[in-house]
Amino acid sequence: MTETLAAAERTLDATTYDCILLAGFGGPEGQDDVIPYLRNVTRGRGVPDERLEEVSHHYRHFGGISPINQQNRDLKVALEEEIAKRGLDLPVYWGNRFWAPYFGDALKELHADGHRKVLVLVTTAFSSYSGCRAYREDLAEALEETGLTGELRLDKVRQYFDHPGFVQPNIDAVLSGLRELEAAGKAEGAHVMFATHSIPSAAANVSGPREALPDGSPVPVSDGEEWYEGGGWYVAQQRAVSALVMDAVEKEFPGVPWSLVFQSRSGDPSIPWLEPDINLAIEALPEDTTGLVVSPIGFVSDHMEVAWDLDNEALETCEERGLPMVRVPTVGVDPAFVAGLIDLVEERHVASEGDSPRERVALTDMGPWQDVCPADCCMSRAKKPTIASAAADGGVGA
C-alpha cells in the first residue's frame, strides 16, 4: 500500500534554476479579442459564438479589455525588481493559458535564450483543478506542441494560500475596509464577506489529494467522503485563510461576523456549484447589518471578475438594500506579496549546489503545501499529462 503523506511532506529538493515563468490566465485587450478569447476558454465544450456574445457583456462594458494582462505585466516588473534586490540571477518570462503571450510562446522564447530548468509561478493561491492542475496540464501540452518535451524541466512553485506574503496583505486590506466603515460610523454591526470563485461542486469535492486528509492521516473508509463533499481542499483552504484574517482583525475589531461566499458561476444552471452566491448572501444579511466589507480572497489581482462581479453586481445589490459596501483590494503587487513570491522561489532555488534553501513557512496546519501533486490530486475526467505530479511508483514525471 502507498504511504499517505501530508502535503508538507511532498517536497522536491532545492536546485539551481535558470529562470522563472510567470503563468497567468490571460484576457482580451480589445473588442476584437473578446470572442476569440472566449472561444479559447470554452474550447471543446461546443459553445456557439451566439452564446459567447451573450456572456461577453462584462468585457464589452470595459471596452473589451480585461485588466488581467496589464496586472501581470506589473507583477512581472515587481518580481524583477525584487529579484534584483536580492541579487538573484533569474530572468522572468510570462505566458498565459488563454491569450497572448501563450505558454508555447514563452517556452520557445526562454529555450531560445538558453534556459533549460524553469521554475513556474502560477497566479492562483488555492488548490483546485482550474487553479493548479489545469495549468500543469496546459504546460505539459505546450511542451509537446513546441517539441520541447525533454528539452525543458518545468517545476511549479507550491500553492501559497497560507504563506505570510499572501495572508498579511489580505489582513491589511480587511482592516482598512473596517476602518473606512468606522470613519463613517458603520463599523459597529458590520459584516465581512470573503469572496472566491465558485466552481462546480463536483470539481470542489475532488480538489487536492484524495489519499490523505490535511494532516496526512488516511481517509477513513466510513466517513472520509463527507470531508471531501464539503468542498475538498479548495473550500477548506479558503475557510482557513479567512479565519486567519479575522483572527488578526479581532484585535482591533472584536466580534465582527464573517462568511465565505462565492461569485462568477457560469455554465449549465442545473449543475450544482459552490454556494452561497454573494448577491444572495448580501440579501440574506440581518436587517441590523450596518456595513459590508468584501474581500476578494480567492483572487490575486483585481481582474475582470473582481471588477464586474463585485464592483458592479455586488455593489448594486448592496445599494438596493441601502447597505454601505467597501470592496477592498486583492494582493496585486503589494510589496509583501511580491516578496513572498520570491521567498517561495528561494525555497526551491539555490545559487549553487550545497547552498541551503529558504525555510518553508505556512500559517495553517495544512501547509506548507506540496511541491509535487499526487496522481489523484484535483483529478479531471480528461486525465491529461501534467508537469509536477507523482507517478504511481512514487517518482516525479510529466
pLDDT value, residue 389? 63
Grid look-up 457583456 returns: 57
Write out pLDDT tens, residues 320-374: 999 999 999 999 999 999 999 999 999 999 988 889 999 999 999 888 999 988 8
- Nearest to residue 162, comparing CAs of 229, 214, 226? 214
Q: Which long-range contacts (CB under 8 A, 24 or more apart) does 29-38 make?
A: 29/64, 29/65, 29/66, 29/69, 29/99, 30/63, 30/64, 30/65, 31/60, 31/63, 31/64, 32/64, 33/64, 33/99, 34/59, 34/60, 34/64, 37/98, 37/99
Cα dihedral across residues 95, 98, 102, 107: positive or negative: positive
With residue 205 as reference, give the H or E element that holds it. Answer: helix 201-205
Residues of the chain with pLDDT under 70: 1-4, 214, 219-229, 381-383, 389-398
Looking at residue 129, the DSSP 8-state letter turns out to be I
Backbone angle region of 110, left / alpha / beta, with phi > 0 → left and psi within -120 to 50 → alpha: alpha
Cell of 377: 490530486
pLDDT value, residue 336? 98
Strands 389-390 and 396-397: antiparallel
All domains of the chain in start order, with CATH: 7-160+334-397 (3.40.50.1400), 164-327 (3.40.50.1400)
* Global confidence as pTM: 0.93
Q: CA distances (Å), 343 to each of 91, 336, 338, 340, in order?
A: 16, 10, 9, 5
pLDDT value, residue 380? 75
pLDDT value, residue 4? 66
Helices (H) and strands (E) in the chain, counts: 14, 10
Determine whether 129 is exposed, middle or buried from the number of CB atoms within 10 Å of its CB (0-12, 13-18, 19+).
buried
Backbone angle region of 42, left / alpha / beta, with phi > 0 → left and psi within -120 to 50 → alpha: alpha
Looking at residue 239, the DSSP 8-state letter turns out to be H
Alpha-carbon gap, residue 93 to 25, rounded angstroms: 14
pLDDT value, residue 182? 98
